[in-house]
């Protein structure tokens, strides 16, 4: 669990992976998006986000290992987390509220 927490926190950095490709998100992402919007009481267009996947596991974000990041209207994620509801909802919350340092109360409630 500790390793997951460290990697999850590293997922909040903002350095895109060098190698990535378009990713068509599965239908369950829309459901997770709606659930996260409801929890956060914030709304954004799911269709305005471009999803990108990077092959393999993590990548380096400066000095940290990343599994996923959000940069503007683009979400980058590792193939290792593409089926993880916890990780995807975390990235969705970044799209909805920003707040890279997780200082808003919504993080305790919805992440």
- Rounded to the nearest integer, the mean pLDDT of the chain is 85
- Angle, helices 2-10 vs 85-97, to 10°: value is 30
Per the structure, the complete domain to which residue 92 belongs is given by: 2-13+22-110
Structure tokens at 7: 């990697």
Per-residue pLDDT at 37: 97
Instruction: Indicate left, alpha or beta for 98 from its phi (over 0: left) and psi (-120 to 50: alpha).
Output: left
> What are the CA-CA distances from residue 82 to residues 42, 62, 85, 89 (Å)?
23, 22, 8, 11
- pLDDT value of residue 14: 58
Q: Supply the CATH number for residue 55's domain.
A: 3.30.2010
The domain tally of the chain equals 1
60 vs 45, residue with greater confidence: 45
**pTM to 2 decimal places:** 0.84
CB of 18 closer than 8 Å to CB of 44 = no
10 pLDDT tier (thresholds 50, 70, 90)? very low
Listed residue (58, 67, 72, 53) closest to 8, CA to CA? 67
């Amino acid at each position: 669990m500790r390793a997951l927490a460290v990697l999850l926190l590293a997922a909040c950095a903002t350095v895109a992976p060098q190698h990535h490709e378009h990713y068509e998100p599965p239908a369950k992402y829309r459901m997770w998006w709606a659930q996260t919007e409801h929890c956060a009481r914030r709304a954004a267009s799911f269709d305005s986000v471009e999803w990108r996947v990077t092959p393999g596991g993590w990548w380096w974000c400066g000095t940290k290992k990343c599994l996923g990041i959000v940069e503007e209207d683009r979400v980058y994620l590792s193939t290792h987390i593409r089926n993880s509801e916890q990780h995807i909802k975390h990235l969705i919350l970044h799209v909805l509220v920003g707040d890279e340092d997780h200082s808003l109360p919504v993080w305790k409630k919805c992440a």
